[in-house]
A and B are shown apart, each in its own frame.
Chain A
C-alpha cells in the first residue's frame, strides 16, 4: 500500500491530464470554429426564409426573415453575436406587417422629418405604421418609418392587412453607402408592380415595361420575386426577374425617379431564378449575377449599363453587347457534395469579397445538394470568376453537422466585416442560419483565429 498510494495518485493525475487533453482538443476544434450557427429565437418560425445584411462603421448586421425578422449584430470581426438583438422586425403579432422576401438592408436611412440618418436599417416587410401603409423601415436606433408604395400595391397591401393575409412584397437594396431600393409588390392584377426608391428614399419611381412585354408577363406571378440593384457609375441598374418565364428585365436610372427600360434578357428556362449584384470583376461597378435552371451567369454591369433604352418586348440575349458575360458555371460535386441534379443549384445567389481582394466571389446556393450522404442538406459553392475560364467552384461550404433536409443555401447574403465579406446562409427547413467565416481563397493568416 505504501507503493500503491503514490502510484494511484500518479495514475489519477495522468488520467485527469489525459481527460483534460481529450476534452480540450475537441474544445479547441470548436472554439472559434469557422462556421457560426446563429441562435434561432424560440418563437420564430420560418427562420431563414430570407437574409439581408448591411453594415456601417460599427459593424455588420444581419436580418433573418421568419415569422418575424431577427436582427443579429455581427460586428466587424469574427466574434458575432450568436443571439438575435431584435426579433420584432415585421412581427405580425405586434404590428400589421407582412414580411418581404427578399429583404433590403440599408447602411443608413433618413426618416421623414428627421435630418439625422439612422444606422443599419432594414426593410423588414410591408405593413402599416402610424396609419401609413408601405414598406416599414426599422433602424438599429429603433427609428421606424414607412416607405410609401405605388397606389396599386398599396391598395393591395391595405386589403391584405385588412383581411390579415400575407402581402407579397419584395425589396432589395444595392450595396452602396446611400443605396437605392428596388421593390415589387402584388397588385390586384396578377402581375406585380416594380418600382424603385432612389438614394435617399424620399420618393419612388416606377419601372415600366413595354405593353407587349407587360402583357406577356401578365400571367407570370413569379415576376418581381427576384430582384437586384447594380450600382454602375452614378447610375443604378434594376433587374427584375420572372423565373417562371425565364426573363430578366432591366432598367436604368441615372438619378431621381426616372428610369429607362433596357430590355429583357431571357428565353432560357428558369432564367432569373435568383439575382444578385456585386462587384465581381475588378472594375468599380456592380455586376449582375443570375441563375437559370442549371447555370449561373455573371454579366458585367458596366457593359449592361451601356444598353440603350428600348421598347423591344422580346426577351433574349441577342441584345447583350459583346463582353457582357463574365462567366457561366454550373454545379459541381466533391467528396462531400453530390447529387447536383437535385441540388437546386442557383436557388440563391450572393456576391461577396470573401478573400478581401477587392473583387467579389459569386456564392451560389444549392439547397438540394446532398452533403456527406445527407439529402437536401444544402451547400454553397463559391466561384472566384477571376477569368471566364473559372467555371469550377473554388470553394464549397456546408454545415459540418449537415442534416437531411436542412436546405442550406435557400437564402444567402454576404455580410461585410472589416476587411472582407463572409457568407451568411440559411436553411429555413431546419431553421439554421450559418455564418461561414473562412474561405479557401483567403490568404493564410488573413482569416483570423477562425481560419487557421
Chain B
C-alpha cells in the first residue's frame, strides 16, 4: 500500500465522532499523542457545549462564566468572543468590550475581525453615549421601543447589539489537522446564502477566502457554511471539503493526505458476526473488504456492498456516502432455505434417502456425508446391509448443518425362526401324512369291523395307534415349532436404529478452508484433478454460495 491516504473527520459532537477521531489517530501511529489531543479536544468541546447550553437557556451569566473558564483553560479565541456575547446579552458592555477586544488581540487575523471590530465600535459608541447622557444604560431596540410607547421607566437595561440570530451568535472552534502537519490550507466562506456550491479548481465568485494558514489550525468561526481547501503539499495531493459550522461547537477536521480526496466512514454490521463483505466487487474478484462488523474509511460516493455468510442469503445493496459521512449500516441477513444433514454412522456403510430420493452412500473412513435438503421436515431413510433401516421424519434446519449420528442396529437373525418354521412345516407335513395314514387305517378297521372281519390283534390297530400318536405329537410339535417360529419372527430383542443429533453447526466456511495442495502457478481455480469430482466455484459450496 504505497499510496498516501487522506483521512477526514468531521466532528459534529458526540462520542462517536471522538471515537472516530481516536481511531484515525491510531491509524496515524500517533496513539499516545492522539489520545491526549482527543481528551483535550473533548474537554474543549464539553466546555463549549456547556456554555452554549446555558446560553440557549437564557442563563447568560452562567454561560459567560463557562466561556471565561474555558478560555482560561484552553485559550481559544472563540471562548472570548462567546463570553463577550454573553456579557453583551447581560448589558455589561464593559465586559463585553473587554472580551471582544481581547478576542481581536489574541486573534487579530480572525476571519471575522472586521465584524468584531464593528461590534466593538458599536459597543464603545453606546457606552460613551451612556456615560455622556448619564442616562440609563443603553438598551437594545426592543427596550427602546417599549420606552417610546410610554411604558413606565424600567431599570437600566443592557445595550444589546442586534444580530441576525442570537442563537447563532456563538462562535465555534474549528480544528483543522492534516497528516502530515504543515499543509497549506485556505478556508472559504460564501459571500451570501445564495452562493453556488464551491467547486474545486473554479473561480467560485460567490466565495471568499477568509483564512489562509497551515495545519494544524484552530479557527474561531461564526455559524455558517465554509469550504476548506488543502493545497498540494509536498508530494501529497490537494484535498477539500465543505464544513457546516453550528453555533457553540468544536469541529475537528482531520485530513490524512493520501489520494487527495476526502473520505467517508462506512461501518457495516450484520446480525451475523464474521459475514464477509465485499465493497464494489460483486464478482468477489478482490479480497474481502472485511468481516462484520467492519468499518473503514471509504471514498465518498456510491458503492455496492456484497455481504455473504455461510448459511445466509447473500445481500447486495448500494450505499451512497457523502464526504466525511460516517455511515453505520446495519443489515440483516436471512438464512438460506435449505440445510445440511451431516450424517455418520456406526455401520461400515450406509445409504441415505431423503423423501425416497437417493442422496448418497457413506463408507467408514470417509468424512461424514453431507446431505442437502430444503429446510423443513423430511423423511430420512438410512439403510445398511444387515442392519435395521432407520426411517423417520427429521427437521432440516434452515441454513445450518445438523450433525446427525445414525446408530444402525444389527438386524436380529431370523435363522432360528426359519429353521423352526421349515422344521415345523416338515413336521406338520409328516404329521398330516401320518395322521391321514392313521385315519385311513382307522377307516379300514371300522370297515372291517362292520364287515365282521376285524381281528382283535390286527396289526393295523397298533400301527394306527402309533401313527395317530405320532400325528398328534407331530401336530403339537408343528404347532409348537410354528408358534416358536412366529415368536422368533416377531421377536426382536435388539432396539430399533436411532439417530442422535448434535448442536447445530454453521455451514463450513470455504474462506477458511486450508488448501491441501499448492496449485501450480497459473493453474485455474476450476482445474479438475482426475477423480476429484466436479469443480466447485471457489470457496462456495452448494452452488457457489453459502
Is B453 a contact of A398 with CB atoms below 8 Å?
yes
Pairwise interchain contact A400-B455, C-beta atoms closer than 8 A: yes
CA distance A398 to B453 in the complex (A): 6
Q: Is A35 an interface residue (CB 8 A)?
A: yes
Collect the chain B residues with CB atoms within 8 Å of residue A31's CB.
456
Structural contact, B465 and A400, CB atoms closer than 8 A: no
Is B345 positioned at the interface, with any CB of A under 8 Å from its CB?
Answer: no
Task: Check if B452 sits within 8 Å of A30, measured CB to CB.
Answer: no
A425-452 at interface with B (beta carbon < 8 Å): 434, 436-440, 451-452
* Chain B residues in 8 Å Cβ range of A33: 449, 454-456, 458
A27 to B475, CA, bound (A): 21
A20–chain B nearest beta-carbon distance, Å: 9
Bound-state Cα–Cα, A32 to B456, Å: 7
> Which of B25-33, B44-52, B60-68, B438-446 sits within the interface?
B438-446
Binds B, one of A11-19, A150-158, A300-308: A11-19
- Contacting pair B468 A397 (CB below 8 A): no
Q: How far is the CA of A26 from the CA of B464 in the complex (A)?
A: 7
A366 within 8 A of B: no
List residues of chain B with CB within 8 A of the CB of A22. 438, 465, 468-469, 471-472
Residues in A neighbouring B385, C-beta threshold 8 A: none
Complex: A131 Cα to B460 Cα, angstroms: 51
A36 to B452, CA, bound (A): 10
Contacts of A398 in B (CB 8 A): 453
Q: Say yes or no: A452 contacts B442, CB within 8 Å.
A: no
A-contacting residues, B458-489, CB 8 Å = 458-462, 464-465, 468-469, 471-473, 475-476, 479-480
CB of B445 within 8 A of CB of A26, answer: yes
Q: Does B537 contact A (CB under 8 A)?
A: no
Contact B476 A29 (CB under 8 A): no
- The residue of chain B having its C-beta at the shortest distance from the C-beta of A23 within the complex is B465
Q: Which residue of chain A has the shortest Cβ distance to B471 in the bound complex? A: A22
**B166 at interface, CB cutoff 8 A:** no
Q: Are A399 and B455 CB-contacts (below 8 A) given A26-B461, A29-B442, A33-B449? A: yes
Once A25-B442, A25-B468, A26-B468 are accepted as A-B contacts, the answer to whether A452 and B460 lie under 8 Å apart by CB is no
Q: What size tier do the contact residues of chain A reach?
A: 20 to 34
Q: How far does the Cβ of A206 sit from chain B's closest Cβ, in whole Å? A: 44
- CB neighbours of B471 from chain A (8 A): 22
Q: How far is the CB of B542 from chain A (nearest CB, A)?
A: 56
- Whether A400 lies near B476 (C-beta < 8 A) is no
Do residues B452 and A434 form an inter-chain contact, with CB atoms below 8 A?
A: no
Which of A32, A35, A436 has the most C-beta atoms of chain B within 10 angstroms of its own C-beta?
Answer: A35
B465 touches A436 (CB 8 A): no
Q: Is B448 an interface residue when CB atoms closer than 8 A count as contact?
A: yes
Query: With an 8 A cutoff between CB atoms, is B532 at the interface?
Result: no
1/0 per residue, CB under 8 A from B, across A69-81: the answer is: 0000000000000
Is B454's CB under 8 angstroms from A26's CB?
Answer: no
Instruction: Let me know if A401 and B460 touch, CB within 8 A.
Output: yes
CB-contacts of A33-68 with B (<8 A):
33-37
> A438: which B residues are within 8 A, CB to CB?
452
Contact in complex: B452, A401 (CB < 8 Å): no
Contact at B452–A34, with CB atoms within 8 Å?
yes
Residue of B with least CB distance to A30: B461
How distant is the Cα of A440 from the Cα of B459 in the complex, in angstroms? 24
A437: nearest chain-B partner, CB-CB: B452
Q: How far is the CA of A35 from the CA of B449 in the complex (A)?
A: 8
Q: Is B457 on the interface with A (CB-CB < 8 A)?
A: yes
Interface residue A283 (Cβ < 8 Å from any Cβ of B) = no
A402 to chain B, nearest CB (A): 9
**With a CB–CB cut-off of 8 A, which chain B residues contact A401?**
455, 457-460
B464 nearest CB neighbor, chain A only:
A26
B interface majority secondary structure:
helix
Nearest Cβ on chain A to B470's Cβ, whole angstroms: 9
Instruction: Among A32, A396, A434, A438, find the residue whose CB has the most chain B CB atoms closer than 10 A.
Output: A438
- A452 to chain B: which residues have CB within 8 Å? 449-450
Prevailing SS type, chain A contact patch:
mixed
Give CA–CA (A255, B479) in the complex, Å.
79
- When distances are taken between beta carbons in the complex, the residues of chain A under 8 Å from B465 are 22-23, 26-27
CB distance from A175 to the nearest CB of B (A): 23
A433 to chain B, nearest CB (A): 11
Instruction: Tell me the complex Cα distance, A15–B454, Å.
Output: 29
**Residue of chain B at shortest CB distance from A29:** B445
Is A395 part of the contact surface with B, judged by Cβ < 8 Å? yes
> Taking the nearest CB of chain B, how far is it from the CB of A374, in angstroms?
13
Q: How far is the CA of A36 from the CA of B456 in the complex (A)?
A: 6
What's the minimum C-beta distance from A375 to chain B, rounded to whole angstroms?
A: 18
Shortest CB–CB separation between residue A11 and chain B, in angstroms?
A: 7
Partner of B453, one of A11, A25, A30, A35: A35
Which of the residues B453, B459, B473, B475 comes within 8 Å of A34, measured between beta carbons?
Answer: B453
Q: Are B472 and A436 in contact (CB under 8 A)?
A: no
B254 → A minimal CB distance (Å)? 91
* Contact among A19, A26, A32, A37 with B442 in the assembled complex (CB-CB below 8 Å): A26
- In the complex, chain B residues whose CB is within 8 Å of the CB of A32: 456
A18 to B460, CA, bound (A): 19
Shortest distance from the beta carbon of B545 to any chain A beta carbon, whole Å: 61
Contact of B469 among A19, A37, A437 (CB under 8 A): A19
Q: Please, how many angstroms separate the alpha-carbon atoms of A396 and B451 in the complex?
A: 8
Residues of A within 8 A of B473 (CB): 15, 19
Q: How far is the CA of A401 from the CA of B476 in the complex (A)?
A: 31
Contacts of B479 in A (CB 8 A): 11
Which residues of A have CB within 8 Å of B444? 400
Q: Distance in Å from the Cβ of B536 to the closest Cβ of chain A?
A: 61
Q: Specify which of A23, A34, A35 is in contact with B468 (CB 8 Å cutoff).
A: A23
- Of listed A22, A27, A34, A35, residue having the most chain B CB within 10 A: A22
B468 touches A30 (CB 8 A): no
Task: Tell me the minimal C-beta distance from B498 to chain A in angstroms.
Answer: 28
Distance in angstroms between the alpha carbons of A438 and B475 in the assembled complex: 37
Instruction: Specify which chain A residues have a CB less than 8 angstroms from the CB of B457 in the assembled complex.
Output: 30, 37, 401
- Residues of A near B451 (CB, < 8 A) are 396, 440
* Complex Cα spacing A37 to B469, Å: 26
B325–chain A nearest beta-carbon distance, Å: 84
Closest chain A residue, CB of each to CB of B463: A26
Residues of B within 8 A of A23 (CB): 465, 468-469
Once the chains are docked, how many angstroms separate the CA of A452 from the CA of B451? 10
Asked whether B445 lies within 8 Å of A11 as measured between CB atoms, the reply is no
Provided the pairs A11-B480, A26-B445, A452-B450 are in contact, do residues A37 and B468 lie with their beta carbons within 8 angstroms?
A: no
Q: Do the beta carbons of A399 and B453 come within 8 Å of each other?
A: yes
B453 near A397: Cβ-Cβ < 8 Å: yes
Give the docked Cα–Cα distance between A34 and B471 (Å): 27
Tell me, in angstroms, the Cα distance from A25 to B467 when the chains sit together.
12
Complex contacts, B460 vs chain A, CB 8 Å: 400-401
Q: Which residues of A contact B458 (CB under 8 A)?
A: 30, 33, 400-401
Q: Check A436/B445 contact, CB under 8 A, given A22-B465, A37-B457.
A: no
- Min CB distance, A56 to chain B, in Å? 26
CA distance A15 to B469 in the complex (A): 10
- Could you say which residues of chain A place their CB within 8 Å of the CB of B475? 18
How many whole Å from B85's CB to the nearest CB in chain A? 105
Interface residues of A in 305-329 (CB under 8 A from B): none
The interface residues of chain B lying within 8 Å CB-to-CB of A37 are 455-457
The answer for the CA separation of A452 and B461 in the assembled complex, in Å, is 18
Distance A35 CA – B472 CA, assembled complex (angstroms): 29
Please give, as numbers and ranges, the residues of chain A lying within 8 Å of B450 by CB-CB distance.
Answer: 452
- List A contacts of B461 (CB < 8 A): 26-27, 29-30
For A36, what are the chain B residues with a Cβ–Cβ distance below 8 Å? 455-456
The list of the 8 closest CB pairs from A to B, nearest first, reads A438-B452, A22-B468, A33-B456, A400-B448, A34-B452, A30-B461, A35-B455, A29-B445
Query: 7 interchain pairs (CB within 8 A)?
Result: A11-B476, A22-B471, A23-B465, A26-B462, A29-B464, A400-B458, A436-B453
Instruction: List chain A positions with a Cβ less than 8 A from chain B.
Output: 11, 15, 18-19, 22-23, 25-27, 29-37, 395-401, 434, 436-440, 451-452
Contacts A33-B458, A398-B453 known; 11 new A-B pairs at CB < 8 A: A22-B471, A23-B469, A25-B442, A25-B468, A26-B441, A35-B452, A35-B456, A37-B457, A396-B451, A400-B460, A401-B459
